Amino acid sequence: MNLEIPKKFSPLINQAQQVAREVFRPISRKYDRAEHEYPKELDLFASIMDGMNDGAADGGTGAGKLARSESNGGGGNRNGTNMKTVLGLTELCWGDVGLALSIPRQGLGNSAIAAVANEEQLARLGNTWAAMAITEPGAGSDSAAIRTTATEDGDGYILNGEKIYVTAGERADAVVVWATLDRNKGRAAIKSFVVEKGTAGMTVERLEKKLGIRASDTAAIRFDNCRIPKENLLGDPDVSVEKGFAGAMQTFDNTRPVVAGMAIGVASAALQKTRELIALTGTDLEYHHQTWTQPAVTRELQLMEAELEAARLLTLRAAWMADNGLPNSKEASIAKAKAGRVGNMVTLRCVELCGSLGYGETELLEKWARDSKILDIFEGTQQIQLLIIARRLLGKSSAELK
């Protein structure tokens, strides 16, 4: 097992580092304070990214490219789009998580389109900036409890329901909505539908004021007899009890390693800044002493580095498995659970270690601590990830282990 980053990704990583340092960091505090104001600086970067993807021989990078590779029987060793996206977003979130979530045409809905859309839908919707609407007032981490309905009506579907915490819900060109075709058939009837901005019956009710990722808009959206064409149902329209909603859930197997990478990025930023600030006090931060002879702060920083490295390796493995067409549901949840918890722990502890500098707005440490919390919540909370891992390890279904 080669633990080094493939050399072919060096240009991507270097470019992401430059964007994080030169574009994101300088405006990070500005858009944290100006919540709901669109970061215009991202338009140029998004255009550059579109150009790179259009000309990429290997499929490009980003949320809209996260389709899983065909299985190679476990005999190959492919590092592709999933790995590139994880590595790139890790660096971008070293700059700013909220801004990374605000890049046009890189919404979570784009990953759903890439995961389950057919060829016609990919061609038609591939360049659409799509948000993802899953969570409801009565259905949070339990996606199977979704109550929003999609009723077949002639050549279309009629959506009714309410979605909350929709990232980029106001800014995006479309929203991928999870809804049920038949509440009596449970999770098997849940499908994802693309609703384009401006469709009659879709209303953005409000934008949330949040603890962190303030540069990213988070919307509550209501669907009131919202009619969409049948071709906007992503994937297979048939309700299959055996298959369940595996197609829709495959989105999470692709995106959870990405969110884990985001947590690693913001935690790395906090750890790096904390080392810089503590080094100014003259504290020895080198590794040549035994732990029992080191200053307490040095020992703690090194322990956090070890936890972060463990999360990073788990995340790279989950992304590699997706690139090689291997089932990675358990590994994706392990990576998300580990990185989400470690990211939040590291950023909070860095605030504590840096005292007044960590708690005040002179540095970005307090902001990173606020931003990191969401990465342990969305794409499935810490508790849900542990439940999924337990089900996979024990061979239990969701009905058998709740």
CB-based contact 260:314 (threshold 8 Å)? yes
SS3 272: helix
Q: What pLDDT is stored for residue 52 in this prediction?
A: 60
Angle between helix 246-279 and 108-116 (nearest 10): 140
Prediction pTM value: 0.93
Q: What pLDDT is stored for residue 14 in this prediction?
A: 94
Residues 6+ apart with CB under 8 A from 359: 351, 365, 366
Query: Residue 40 corresponds to which tokens in the numbers above?
Result: 């215009």
379 is catalytic: yes
What single string gives the DSSP state of each residue in 208-240? ---SS-TTS-EEEEEEEEEEEEGGGB-S--S--
The DSSP code for 287 is S
Among candidate residues 136, 162, 331, 379, the one labeled active-site is: 379
Query: Residue 110 corresponds to which tokens in the numbers above?
Result: 């784009």
Q: What pLDDT is stored for residue 57 in this prediction?
A: 56
Instruction: Return per-residue pLDDT of the chain as tens, 402 residues.
Output: 677 888 999 999 999 999 999 999 999 999 999 999 999 999 888 877 776 666 555 666 777 667 666 655 545 578 889 999 999 999 999 999 999 999 998 888 898 888 888 899 999 998 899 999 999 998 877 777 899 999 999 999 999 999 999 999 999 999 999 999 998 888 888 999 999 999 999 999 999 999 999 999 999 999 999 999 999 999 888 876 555 566 567 788 999 999 999 999 999 999 999 999 999 999 888 877 787 788 899 999 999 999 999 999 999 999 999 999 999 999 999 999 999 999 999 999 999 999 999 999 999 999 999 999 999 999 899 999 999 999 999 999 888 998
Sign of CA dihedral 216, 37, 62, 107: positive
Residues 6+ apart with CB under 8 A from 298: 283, 284, 285, 289
What torsion, rounded to 10 degrees, do the Cα atoms 314, 319, 320, 322 define?
130
Q: Strands 130-133 and 174-180, how do they pair? A: parallel
